[in-house]
Amino acid sequence: MERLTSDELRDCWPILSQPERVEAFQHMGRADSDDFFLELSAADQAVLLLAMEEGERRLWVRLLAPDDAADVVQLVSPTERSAVLGLLDETTRLEVTALLAYAEDAAGGLMSPRFARVRPEMSVNEAIRYLQRQAKEHLETIYYAYVLDPEQRLEGVVSFRDLFAAAGEKPLSEVMHTDVVSVRDSMDQESVAQVMAEHDLNAIPVVDELGHMKGIVTVDDIVDVVQREATEDIQKLGGMESLDTPYLQTPMLEMVRKRAGWLSALFLGELLTASAMSRFEDEIAKAVVLALFVPLIISSGGNSGSQATTLIIRAMALGEVKLGDWWRIMRREVVAGLSLGLILAALGLVRILVWERAFHSYGEHAVAVAATVALSLIGIVTWGTLAGSMLPFLIRRAGFDPASASAPFVATLVDVSGLVIYFSVAQVVLRGSLL
């Protein structure tokens, strides 16, 4: 393999197989390779580490910050875990072991334990000199220093900028901000991202239930979290299990499995449409024209349901809509659903009557058929919108992720009830004429 620069390798990395990656990395110039290694995902870092000779591993593992090392350790098999931990220096090993105790998607699993700690009675000049010494070590950031009492409880925060702007002899207790926004170590990462975005923070302290400071989460970790959570939600909304790896790196078998699960479940649900239809077999035999509009009717219900469920799930993920808002949302969505239903009904009515006038497509009862389609559309679109908007609330109330109310799931639910609505309307409107 020819020798690649780190930029070239960065570009073609996603399309390389694992053995190719290992080989390319081993052929890289030493000068570029450490930055390159640090930019890789934890999964890639783990693969490269395990492919290395024993003697070389230590060098690379020790390059990682404790939170990144913990991510890598979590990804190797349990048998190799202690070997990898053994490569770390004593301090880091203790930190990594502590981090491993947290769920990967909680604040505790995301935080770095290496933050700058200062005492309230230090002067500004002492703090600056202290941070200057610390800058040579591997702190996650030196731009915020956290003021802790002797029990490690968080009392305040000073930014480097505050220190520079303040008079040198002042004690930190007079300079620090005491209204510190912090998060609990057990808070899930999506909520941490929301708190940080809301307050425009670059780093947020993580505390345990007694208020002891355990670490900091920095905003660059949050960008990854936000991207990953959005990807998960989008894939669930698309009607499949979320992939854990980039599309091109997901093995075919795993991808088919993750798609087939939901697709089969939806198919089994959709089989109910065949049962629903067979209840109306006589009506279809008498008025075949009714069958012509079945796809139109059910897809309109499905589309309006998809819209509503997508809107509500995203608003929930962003914290714009809470569980208690269901009643307000329901009133809004009934109005929206009725308006949308009326618009589609008008379009359907015009289409059928124009086609009838131009091509005589629907026989002598065209007006009655048009009325059936239009009335059904109003009912189905309103119902689809209502069901689509309320389902995320029900799922969340039951304790599950609302994003599981995927758009195809809502569409399937609405398909079955849509058919019942359509043929019931037909039985009333067309009684005595076609039926």
User: What residue type is assigned to position 96 of the chain?
Assistant: V
Q: Which is nearer to its own copies, 153 or 286 (CB)?
A: 286
Task: State yes or no: residue 412 binds its own copies (CB under 8 A).
Answer: yes
Using CB under 8 A, pick the residue from 110, 312, 380, 413 that binds its own copies.
312
Output phi, psi for 259, to 5 deg: -85, -35
Asked whether the beta carbons of 374 and 345 are under 8 A apart, the reply is: yes
| DSSP helix/strand/coil, 108 | helix
Cβ 83 to its own copies shortest distance, Å: 27
* 295 versus 399: smaller Cβ distance to its own copies: 295
Binds its own copies (CB under 8 A): choice among 69, 294, 380, 429? 294
Distance CA 360, CA 369 (A): 13
Q: Which of residues 215-234 bind its own copies (CB under 8 A)?
A: 218-220, 222-224, 226-227, 230-231, 233-234
Give CA separation, 408 vs 128, 263, 412, in Å.
57, 9, 6
Distances in whole angstroms, Cα of residue 212 to Cα of each of 114, 136, 208, 216: 14, 26, 5, 12
Residues 99-118 that bind its own copies (CB under 8 A): none
Q: Which residues, 30 to 49, sit near its own copies by CB under 8 A?
A: 38-39
Q: Count Cα atoms within 13 angstroms, Cβ side, for 417.
A: 19
Using CB under 8 A as the binding rule, the residues of this chain from 313 to 332 that contact its own copies are 313-315, 318, 320-321, 325, 328, 332
Q: H-helix or E-strand containing 398?
A: none
Taking a C-beta distance cutoff of 8 angstroms, is the pair 59, 82 a contact?
A: no
205 interacts with its own copies by CB under 8 A? no
Nearer to its own copies, 307 or 376 (CB): 307
Buried b (16+ CB within 10 A) or exposed e, 222-240: beebbeebeebbebbbebb
Closest distance to its own copies from the beta carbon of 54 (Å) = 28
The residue among 49 and 405 lying less far from its own copies, judged by its C-beta, is 405
Give the DSSP letter of residue 77.
-
Calculate the alpha carbon distances from 386 to 179, 333, 392, 417 in Å: 43, 6, 11, 13
Among 52, 46, 80, residue whose Cα is nearest residue 64: 46
Scan residues 348-367 and list those touching its own copies (CB under 8 A): 348, 351, 361
Q: Is 243 in the site for its own copies (CB under 8 A)?
A: yes
The nearer residue to its own copies, 219 or 367, going by C-beta atoms, is 219
- Cβ nearer to its own copies, comparing 57 with 258: 258
Task: Decide if 185 contacts 205 (C-beta within 8 A).
Answer: no
Asked if 8 touches its own copies (CB under 8 A), the answer is no
Question: What is the distance between the alpha carbons of residues 250 and 253, in angstroms, rounded to a whole number?
Answer: 8
Q: Which stretch binds its own copies (CB under 8 A): 118-126, 149-157, 334-342, 424-432?
A: 334-342
H-helix or E-strand containing 417?
helix 407-429
Among 288, 323, 394, 428, indicate the residue that binds its own copies (CB under 8 A): 288
What is the C-alpha to C-alpha distance for residues 419 and 284, in angstroms, rounded to an integer? 12
Tell me the window of 92-100, 136-144, 207-215, 391-399 that interacts with its own copies (CB under 8 A). 136-144
Structure tokens at 306: 């998809």
- Indicate whether 124 belongs to the interface with its own copies (CB under 8 A): no
Segment contacting its own copies (CB under 8 A): 71-79, 114-122, 131-139, 207-215? 131-139
Q: Please count the residues of this chain forming the interface with its own copies, following the rule CB under 8 A.
A: 110
Out of 197, 330, 353, 367, the only residue in the binding site for its own copies (CB under 8 A) is: 197
Among 54, 55, 79, 136, binds its own copies (CB under 8 A): 136
- Residue from 54, 150, 199, 327 binding its own copies (CB under 8 A): 199
Among 408, 421, 425, 430, binds its own copies (CB under 8 A): 408
- Other C-beta atoms closer than 10 Å to the C-beta of 258 total 17
- What is the footprint of its own copies within residues 67-96 (CB under 8 A)? none
Applying CB under 8 A, the span of 47-55, 118-126, 150-158, 269-277 interacting with its own copies comes to: 269-277
Question: Rounded to the nearest whole angstrom, what is the least distance from the CB of residue 86 to its own copies in the complex?
Answer: 27
Which contiguous run of DSSP H or E holds residue 214?
Answer: strand 213-218
Q: Measured from the CB of residue 171, what is the shortest distance to its own copies in angstroms?
A: 19
Give residue 113's Cα distance to chain centre. 25
As a whole number of angstroms, the distance between CA 381 and CA 176 comes to 57
Copy the structure tokens of residue 160: 């480097």
Among the listed residues 10, 58, 117, 184, the single contact to its own copies using CB under 8 A: 10
Query: What tokens were used for 186?
Result: 């057990």
